[in-house]
Amino acid sequence: MALAIFDLDNTLLCGDSDHLWGDFLVELGVVDAKLYQQANDRFYREYNEGKLDIFEFLHFSLKPLSEHAPETLYDWREQFVSERIEPIILPAGLELIQKHREAGDTLLIITATNSFVTTPIAQRLGIEHLIATTPEMVDGRYTGQVAGTPSYKEGKIERLKQWLASNQHNLDGSCFYSDSHNDIPLLEIVDRAIAVDPDEALTQHAKNRAWPIISLRE
């Protein structure tokens, strides 16, 4: 079975779940609204510009997980997925997933967004396999730290190689769908790279490499 790999944010979703989770915490009133919103927006700009310090961002984004009981966090997350994620799931993305499922492909999401946020989203999309940045958990509580390698830029390749070894899979016939120039390292190693509603930098790179460019938003 060939591996069909999907980025999540701004690929299968019409928005960024990581940034939206930060906005949601602001709306809940559980973080300092002004300071948190400013930082959340700054990190998102830096991500889009390819300048993000992933560890600085994770120190910021995972900290709220350490400040609340998991049961409370899971209640918030359920509300978040229902109110913020469900409306931005792209119907054409669901059709693309189904197309690969019917072809017998193994479906995998790989995302820089942490697994606390993305696990229920992957489940909603019907995709069993997920590689995401892992928040550290000790004695049943989140610590605010990251466990292992963040699945960001070249880190996605490292995490994917670990997953391939653990699942006795390979990249023969593989494809990867992404919107972001941050994913160029991984796009370069699959058999078929597809740019999905790509940012400007990825658009140019895809044209130079003669990769297909598609839209799931039309």
Q: Which residues are catalytic?
A: 7, 9
CB 144 within 8 A of CB 134: no
Pair type for strands 141-147 and 129-138: antiparallel
Vertex 90 angle, CA 64 and 47, to 5°: 45
- The single-letter code of the amino acid at 17 is S
CB 215 within 8 A of CB 197: yes
Q: In Å, how far are 5, 12, 32, 136 from 173, measured between CA atoms? A: 11, 21, 47, 33
Strand order in 129-138's β-sheet? Answer: 141-147, 129-138, 106-114, 3-6, 175-178, 192-196, 213-214
Token digits of residue 12: 């299968």
Distance in angstroms (rounded) separating the CA atoms of residues 15 and 209 = 26
